[in-house]
Amino acid sequence: EAVNGKQLGHLYENISSFFRQCIFSVLSVGPVPSHIAFIMDGNRRYSKKQNLLDGDGHRAGFSALINMLRYCYELGVKYITVYAFSIDNFRRSPEEVESLMKLMQEKIDELIKEESIANRLGIRIYFQGNLKLLSAPVRSAAERAMVKTAGHSKAVLSVCVAYTSTDEIVHAVQESCEEKWDEIRKRDANNAGGYLIGLEENGKDKDDHLIGVTNVDRHMYMAVVPDPDIIIRTSGESRLSNFLLWQSANCLLYSPTALWPEIGLRHLVWVVLDFQRNYLYLKEKKKQA
């Protein structure tokens, strides 16, 4: 009997999954990064290159993300972060912003379906950024996804939307100031109004009324996951474009020329080997920080 297309598909999937297992078990002899972040650049260029309709490049980009998520999961990378939409992207044409948001909403709903990768593998999803800037339907889809996957703990996918690092830092500083101010007011009430007077008189000598790095760090959106070990930006660009500036001080950067929908297993293997080659140096840098 002739083998049908579906059976061939399964066969191909089984062979490539076995092939990955072999590669990953060799890679796992060395240290495996715990967090990889991706700047998914080059989707429109892919669409042009392949003569696709506008928007289909981003669709292909989403499939590439799902594949990459599976590879990272199989390799044992617990945290994955992606830059899906920056605050600056709102300046693109209204048609493009709308079509991207529509796609986002559709894909978020797909991500929380019963048989989705998030449910099958136990992946918790966070949406990080200034979510107020999103339209109501996208925001509520994002919130639904966060609630629905809150009990998962095998791996964590952080999707940065309406995100820029500078916005995240300003937000964290504001929250830190509010918190510090509350603390000062409480102390003042306990001191029957004496604390603030004391602060005015000798405040310059003590620092405990000021916010520091640890305060700000705690209020970052991304504080729920460790800092990334690696940032990958596709399509040959080597700019961070306002992504994870606070968190990337000791990060390995990699910018393959492949466009995001073209990213594959080979890129992951290559960057993990590079990470392993630089591991002792990176670890030392982290210790000094």
Query: Is 41 a catalytic site residue?
Result: yes
Give min distance, CB of 214 to Mg ion, in A. 35
233 binds ligand FPP (CB under 6 A): no
Question: What gap in Å lies between CA 171 and CA 281, rounded to an integer?
Answer: 32
Which secondary structure element, helix H or strand E, spans residue 46, and what is its range? helix 43-49
Contact with ligand FPP (CB under 6 A): which of 41, 168, 227, 229? 41
Q: Least distance to Mg ion from the beta carbon of 53, Å?
A: 18
Crossing angle of helices 94-111 and 56-75, rounded to 10°: 40
75 token code pair: 């390799």
Which does residue 256 touch among Mg ion, ligand FPP, none (CB within 5 to 8 A, set by kind)? Answer: none
Q: Which residues pair with 80 in a beta bridge?
A: 36, 157
Q: How far is the CB of 164 from ligand FPP (least distance, A)?
A: 13
Our finding on whether 134 is near ligand FPP (CB under 6 A) is no
Minimum CB–partner distance for residue 254 and ligand FPP (Å): 17
3-state secondary structure of 125: strand
Residue whose CB is nearest to ligand FPP in the complex, by number: 61
Per-residue 3-state assignment (H helix, E strand, C coil) for 152-198 = CCCEEEEEEEEECHHHHHHHHHHHHHHHHHHHHHHHHHHCCCHHHHH
What is d(CA 231, CA 272) in angstroms, rounded to the nearest whole number?
11
Among 24, 41, 124, 216, binds Mg ion (CB under 5 A): 41
If one asks whether residue 104 binds ligand FPP (CB under 6 A), the answer comes out as yes
46 binds Mg ion (CB under 5 A): no
Note the residues at the interface with ligand FPP (CB under 6 A).
Answer: 40-45, 58, 61-62, 65, 84-85, 89, 104, 107-108, 159, 235
Question: Which residues are designated catalytic?
Answer: 41
